Structure 1
Amino acid sequence: MELTEFMAAEGVIVVGGGPVGLWLAAELRLRDVPVTVLEARPRRSPHSRALTVHPRTLEVLDCRGVVEPFLAEGVRIPSGHFAALTERMDFRPLDTPFPFTLSLPQARTEELLEEHAVRAGARILRGHRVTGVEAGADAVELTVEGPDGPYRTSAAYVVGCDGTRSAVRESAGVAFPGTATTLWAWMGDVVLDAPPAGPAVSGPRGQLMVFPLPGGVHRVVGNDPDTLRQARPGELTFEELRDRVTAIAGTDFGMRDPRWLSRFGNATRQAETYRRGRVLLAGDAAHMHFPAGGPGLNVGVQDATNLGWKLAAVLRGTATDGLLDSYHGERHPVGAELLLNTRAQTALMTTYSSEGQALRGLLGEFIATVPEFSRTLAERMSGLSVVYPPAEGASAHPLTGRRAPDLRFADGRRLFELLRGGGRVLLDLTGGAATGLPGRTPDTVVHTAPLAPHDRDTWRRVTAALIRPDGHVAWAAEETDPETLTRSVSGALAAMAGQGVAAVG
């Protein structure tokens, strides 16, 4: 069939209709940016690689008013594992409305996110496989294989959310350095007539984790000494899965009725840049890793949350193009830490010697008996510890760049509700003493109310703060003089439009 021309009116084309691409599309539509999602799969996969929704992702969903369906259907787990250790991190002390991980199959997560994106006005085209990307000075042109044949389309910006084998990344010439696969773990969604009492079984013969899924199914995930190999084994069979589980646990837990069997490796890579001109990358297209602790979907959604408001601001002319550079500057280090974390867990999960088992036992003891250690790990795993750097050379308040908690105000409102419009939030915490604060625009909510009584020491002396649309603090001050506050806010708003991070405060 001849190559047809189809010039899109959309401001942004998102390539990939998984959780990251769907969330990014909704974020862009929240700010009235035209967006089309091109997804190669003709239909959503019934299988779910990801199961875990972390606390920070739940906060992000709450900041857009869409968390309730996830909470209604997911299973709340008030703890998390590190490297499949039997001792688990306690999420309950975390400063969040969601001190738990949520177990929800990715297929259902995608369905909920697609409903949200469509309600917001995103156009989603399935069966459209991008085969080439050519970026110019003013637009990006894509070559696509659609259900009716090949065609060309264009947009002001293209974002590759198309997975580890990203066609967008490869077409844009972005390197994807890292390490090759050295082990092949295995997993199966099966019925267990006698599931284990705890989620983890660990020993010199391997590590095993078992997660309940809807419909009476359990996911069994594990690795053993035989998984340490570079060459991919053949397809996983039910008999092999049952034998490996029995070797580790001494029982197959009454395993039957396999629904899905798969292997996965530990190849670890990261895109050298998340932005090349008008082409950007997010999610698995930007970082590839062993799925220890289930962080991939979560970090990808948080990539999209960081990028969405910046891309919209540039397209709407309320920020300079330099704002997009801060996307790489802020999220690439988060991706690097993700890879460090999963590599460390992989090393612990594949140490079968007596010395390795001793190390696992020692770290497990620390998690169980040292609350600060457990909490630090939990904050890293959950995404709550991410801090973005302030503008270079700026003298910033200690809160700058940190995730803002769900602050409660004396008038009964809370911060996450104020963020639901997708704009920035300027907080006057003096209760009206700084009524001259600038920033009342369609993109800015100005909220004047003191904080409700609480135990957050770091916020007690703050008189004003500017919260970015992604929920991070752009600027904060403890100044009480109204004129000084007004000047500081003006500088912070200007810095946010140009660099994405706060200036001084």
Structure 2
Amino acid sequence: MRTEVIVVGAGPTGLTLAYELALAGIPVVVMEKQHTRDPQSRAGSLQPRTAEVLDLRGLLEPLLTQEMFENTHGGHFAILPVELDCRPWRTRYPHPVGVPQARLEAHLERLLGERGVPVLRGREVTAVAQDAEGVTAQWHTDGPLGGGEIRGSYLVACDGGHSTVRRLLGVPFPGQKRRMSAVVADLTLASRSETVPTRPGHFSEYTRSAHGFYAILHPIAPDLYRMIFGKDSGESPDRAAPVSADEVREALHAVYGPEAELGELRAASRFGDAVRQVERYRESRVLFAGDAAHIHMPIGGQGVNLGVQDAMNLGWKLAGTIRGWAPAGLLDTYHEERHPVAAAVLRHTRAQRVIMNVDRDEEIGAVRELVTELLRLPDANRYISGMMSGLDLQYPRAGTRLIDMDLTTQDGPTRASRLMHSGRGLLLSLDDGQRAVGDRSDRVEHVTAKTDEDVEGAGAVLIRPDGYLAWTDTDGTPLDTALARWFG
């Protein structure tokens, strides 16, 4: 089999990347070792910036029509009892958006099917070899095919924290090993006690502990709960051991009483607090994204959001490289831009692990109280909300994110995000200036519009496909220089 890009892993990162490549007309094949999609919610929501990024492609709205509780509460930092307020960041999504990971994956896989992109399940990659011209991956399946190989110009490993591709290539994954283990489960309840929450609230309201267990039980749909639990002692079965209904029932009874009876255990898995990151996101023609590039304790909804934004950053750069229009070094900016972002998330998730104070240390308890007081200060809250949501991100050689402002074009009212559904860059003229993208119309659209909103005083802005400002007419750089830097 021959393609341009082999994506290994059909999680949110791999599927988002495959969609971006398909949108750019790049042949892509997704290889996934699991035979069926994991039904577990895992990540229960999207951070505001990830919601914005999906909105850039028109992918978010269809996910909001299904029956789920609407979230009207701000995010959290270390499960402290202070809502993070994202309104100062001028976003249409001031709260985390309740879209479970499984629903996002199903939606993306369906869209890929409509575009003719193969998502080959039950194919486990067993060998990877690269040369100056491309990458060859061998795979095995339990089906009648037995196995085979696939050849591509590039391969992107999106195959999780235990990445097979990373192991086959001998790529180091330095960091801190796991010190604790906990369980996350999707379940229904046959009966509830008085301590079981029945309505959506701030995440801090769900935290309880009793009889040697801690637990977070929160409703994600009218008859569906998500439960995170562990033992105060830190003891747990082996990470690979399946989670039994009896194990969930024991924790449920310990924390919420015998009246809280398990109904159906729909899905469950274990997680830990290991912190690791590859040193380079690119190894010649193999690139790493999502959990294959970085892992951390899943707190505050950071994992799926990092992965989706890895994919959005990489997709257009890889497409431009394959198409031949990418300027020298564009693909390398993927590592330069995304590695520091993940490193910062790893750092603050480690801090949150301490501040959560699962061990109930009195000294850490004092720190927890102080940080809670700080979060009530508007400036501190804005800083942490921007960090946790991703809304504060600014790449070194690019600007801030594009605000999704209301616009009026010759076709009528619209929003900035709706002008980027094609996956191309955007030159947005907000005045009467005469501008042009030259022979780059296949990768940059030019739209003239009016708005009542402020865009840093600019009369025109150039926006990268991932939604970050590449140029404004106020920064002193000629437009053609910026176009050449990012679009060849």
TM-score by length of 2: 0.89
Contact 2:13 2:158 in 1 (8 A): yes
Distance 1:472 1:278, change over 3 A: same
* 2:152 matches 1:152: no
Counterpart Cα distance in 1 of 2:70 and 2:89: 15
Distance 1:358 1:244, change over 3 A: farther
Counterpart Cα distance in 1 of 2:275 and 2:151: 32
Distance 1:358 1:231, change over 3 A: farther
Counterpart Cα distance in 2 of 1:51 and 1:409: 32
* Residue in structure 2 matched with residue 106 of structure 1 by the alignment: 101
* Residue in structure 2 matched with residue 293 of structure 1 by the alignment: 300
* 2:321 matches 1:314: yes
Q: Deviations over 1:199-236 (max 9, x none)?
A: 42257967532221336121121345312689759655
Deviates more, 1:413-422 or 1:66-75: 66-75
* Residue in structure 1 matched with residue 478 of structure 2 by the alignment: 488
Counterpart Cα distance in 2 of 1:381 and 1:478: 29
Counterpart Cα distance in 2 of 1:354 and 1:319: 55
Counterpart Cα distance in 2 of 1:174 and 1:218: 38
Q: Deviations over 1:232-290 (max 9, x none)?
A: 5965554544554555x564662312413433211111011110110001111001111
Deviates more, 1:337-346 or 1:84-93: 84-93
* Residue in structure 2 matched with residue 363 of structure 1 by the alignment: 371
* Residue in structure 2 matched with residue 397 of structure 1 by the alignment: none
Counterpart Cα distance in 2 of 1:94 and 1:258: 40
Counterpart Cα distance in 2 of 1:264 and 1:173: 24
Matches within 5 A, 1:23-38: 23-38=16-31
Matches within 5 A, 1:382-397: 382-390=389-397
Counterpart Cα distance in 1 of 2:471 and 2:258: 55
* Residue in structure 2 matched with residue 15 of structure 1 by the alignment: 8
* Residue in structure 2 matched with residue 403 of structure 1 by the alignment: 401
Counterpart Cα distance in 1 of 2:218 and 2:271: 17
Q: Structure 1 unaligned segments of length 5 or more: list them.
A: 1-6, 391-399, 480-484, 499-505
Counterpart Cα distance in 2 of 1:361 and 1:202: 17
* Residue in structure 1 matched with residue 443 of structure 2 by the alignment: 443
Matches within 5 A, 1:323-472: 323-349=330-356, 350-367=358-375, 369-390=376-397, 400-411=398-409, 412-430=413-431, 432-435=432-435, 438=438, 441-450=441-450, 452-454=451-453, 456=454, 459-472=455-468
Q: Which amino acid aligns with 1:366?
A: L
SS at structure 1 position matched to 2:379: helix
Contact 1:31 1:312 in 2 (8 A): yes
TM-score by length of 1: 0.86
Contact 2:182 2:236 in 1 (8 A): no
SS at structure 1 position matched to 2:407: coil
Shift of 1:440: 5.4
Distance 1:236 1:167, change over 3 A: closer
Q: Which amino acid aligns with 1:256?
A: L
Provide the aligned C-alpha RMSD in A. Answer: 2.5
Q: Structure 2 unaligned segments of length 5 or more: list them.
A: none
Counterpart Cα distance in 2 of 1:134 and 1:150: 16
Q: Deviations over 1:70-114 (max 9, x none)?
A: 121243323112212233323444421122212233222211111
Counterpart Cα distance in 2 of 1:187 and 1:449: 47
Counterpart Cα distance in 2 of 1:120 and 1:252: 50
Counterpart Cα distance in 1 of 2:239 and 2:325: 50
Counterpart Cα distance in 1 of 2:359 and 2:303: 23
Contact 1:26 1:117 in 2 (8 A): yes
Q: Which amino acid aligns with 1:103?
A: G
Counterpart Cα distance in 2 of 1:189 and 1:235: 14
* 2:82 matches 1:76: no
Identity of matched residues, %: 39
Shift of 1:152: 1.7
Contact 1:185 1:263 in 2 (8 A): yes
Q: Which amino acid aligns with 1:186?
A: V
* 2:62 matches 1:63: no
Q: Which amino acid aligns with 2:261?
A: M
